[in-house]
Amino acid sequence: MRALSVDLAERAYPVLVGPGARYEVARFLPPSAKSAVVVTQEAVWDAGWAGHLDPGVPVETFLIPDGEDAKTLATVQSLARRFTGVGLSRADVIIAVGGGIVTDVAGFAAATYHRGTAYVNVATSLLAQVDAAIGGKTGVNLPEGKNLVGAFWQPNAVLCDTETLSSLPPREWACGRGEIAKYAFLGDAPRADMPIEEQVARCAGIKAAVVAEDEREGGRRAILNYGHTLAHALEAAALADHDEWDLRHGEAVAIGLVFAALLAQRLGRIDEARVTEHRRVIGSFDLPSDLPPDVDAEELVTFMGRDKKAQLDLTFVLDGPDGVQPVHGVAAADVVATLADMGARR
């Protein structure tokens, strides 16, 4: 078992990586907890990853729907009402068992229920283990965009049980690999040929260090969104009017990484060799690099303008001579031209 730490002074918490990590959940309940609720999904429950947890206190289990359609304020309201129905108090604990959707939604419910209730993340997907479950960013979507409503609310612990990855379908592996490919440009680079525990631990270590330095994304933490500005725009467009794209988050991030490299090259920040390195890394994780069919560049730029990093301008996280960093004030014409180079309609 690998033990890492997100060092946030008195709010520091551990990240455990390895087989069987989920069985450690009782260690990280607040001393005040007299009961717990588990928030999970049907597929996770059916796989057995949530049913055998023993938090050491009486527990109720609530299921939320699968997919991005579950990431809504309506789901959070439904959970809060169910918490109230079983008498969950602010002194108790919420245990999120699942992938990034579960940890995002349950974490936001925890952040807002009684104005803040403790929670523990038991991450069962690769995406959650390498990224989504760590760092305390919780939230839900609006029709206008991804993760536009949320809160920073740190968990008591994150348990990355690599045994649970055995039940993931191939597309869910792609979700996580897109984030791993991102981390390859941010620090102690994980490689596709490493054991999965090592890949998860390296990604978790990079994220923990960045979060400890910039918890609320006031500066350096923005680099964790590398590839995500286009990715979130693609996902928002798919939710709004292009469900035929069938694009998973990690696949969108992979495409976003290629776009970010090409945009950085257009702006003179990197050379062709560095773009080629992006394509090589993405290919090594067997991820897509092309836009979906029938992409409209102007539509995507509209969604990009709603990105959380934007400050009355178009902001991107881009590679450059000093590494990956936020770049403000990128001209829309350069964005459209880069998308057009990738096959988008102008």
Q: Which of 71, 177, 202, 221 is catalytic?
A: 221
Cα–Cα nearest to 123, from 139, 146, 147, 106: 106
User: Distance between CA 299 and CA 237 in Å, rounded?
Assistant: 8
Cα–Cα nearest to 103, from 92, 94, 113: 94
Q: Which of 121, 147, 156, 225 is catalytic?
A: 225
Q: Which of 146, 177, 207, 308 is catalytic?
A: 207
User: Distance between CA 94 and CA 76 in Å, rounded?
Assistant: 13
Residue 218 tokens read as 């006031």
Q: Which of 52, 81, 115, 346 is catalytic?
A: 115
Q: Is 225 a catalytic residue?
A: yes
User: 70, 106 in Cβ contact below 8 A?
Assistant: no
User: Distance between CA 42 and CA 332 in Å, rounded?
Assistant: 42
Q: Is 251 a catalytic residue?
A: no
CA 345 vs CA 70, 246, 341: distances in Å: 31, 19, 10
In degrees and rounded to multiples of 5, residue 240 shows phi and psi of -75, -40
Please give the sequence-ordered ranges of beta strands (E in DSSP) within the chain, or none if there are none.
2-6, 13-18, 36-41, 59-64, 93-98, 118-123, 137-142, 145-152, 158-161, 316-318, 325-327
Q: Is 179 a catalytic residue?
A: yes
Q: Is 172 a catalytic residue?
A: no
Q: Is 182 a catalytic residue?
A: no
Q: Which of 228, 248, 308, 309 is catalytic?
A: 228
Q: Which of 24, 172, 179, 299 is catalytic?
A: 179
Q: Which of 71, 137, 242, 248 is catalytic?
A: 137
Residue 151 tokens read as 């809160």
Q: Which of 249, 278, 308, 309 is catalytic?
A: 249
Q: Is 141 a catalytic residue?
A: no
Cα–Cα nearest to 119, from 12, 212, 28: 28
User: 266, 339 in Cβ contact below 8 A?
Assistant: no
Q: Which of 24, 172, 215, 217 is catalytic?
A: 217
User: 231, 248 in Cβ contact below 8 A?
Assistant: no
Q: Is 328 a catalytic residue?
A: no
Q: Is 27 a catalytic residue?
A: no
Q: Which of 182, 202, 232, 242 is catalytic?
A: 232
Cα–Cα nearest to 318, from 274, 282, 273: 274
> Would you name the residues annotated as active-site residues?
115, 137, 179, 207, 217, 221, 225, 228, 232, 249
